[in-house]
Amino acid sequence: MVILAVDYGKVRTGLAVSDPGERLASPVCVIEERNSQRLAEKIARHAEERKAGQIVLGLPRNMDGSEGESAQNVRNFQQLLQEESGLDVVLRDERGTTITAHGYLNVTNTRGKKRKSTIDSVAAVIILQDYLDYRRNQR
């Protein structure tokens, strides 16, 4: 099954997608949208275009595992995205993904505007790859 991952942000939201065999996550794009309803519609269109069977949404927890305002915003968006897409939207802990994404971009010497435009899709790839590995280990 193809799975679409979302790294939700107030301004930029990164998307990544898996192959049908659920082995590899690849970046899709970064959507710049502040309106949650329009963002959910755009993500739902990407899911439909890619024939995704599920969406994974990064849940920003604090380092101690607690949830703050950002996590509540994501939980609210999860409901909206489920309604808009008609797909199951699974939450996945995203602690450390942006830091890891910055590390990957440092290794590839990606800087400036290119870095800013790709960091969120790289974070979505990390969220999705973590979820794919989890699913594979559960079988």
| Own/partner pairs, 93-99, CB within 8 angstroms, 24+ separation | 93/58, 93/59, 93/61, 94/7, 94/58, 94/59, 94/60, 94/61, 94/123, 94/126, 94/127, 95/60, 95/61, 95/63, 97/7, 97/58, 97/123, 97/126, 97/127, 97/130, 98/123
Q: Is the distance from CB of 122 to CB of 27 less than 8 angstroms? A: yes
Give the orientation angle of helix 112-138 with respect to helix 97-107, to 10 degrees: 120
- Give the pLDDT band (50/70/90) at residue 100: low
Kindly tell me the burial class for residue 2, based on how many C-beta atoms sit within 10 Å of its own C-beta (0-12, 13-18, 19 or more).
middle
Residue 104, pLDDT > 70, answer no
Q: Model-level pTM?
A: 0.85
Q: What is the pLDDT of residues 18-64, one digit of tens each?
A: 999 999 999 999 999 999 999 999 999 999 999 999 999 999 887 78
Alpha helices by DSSP H, listed for 14-111, are 36-49, 69-85, 97-107
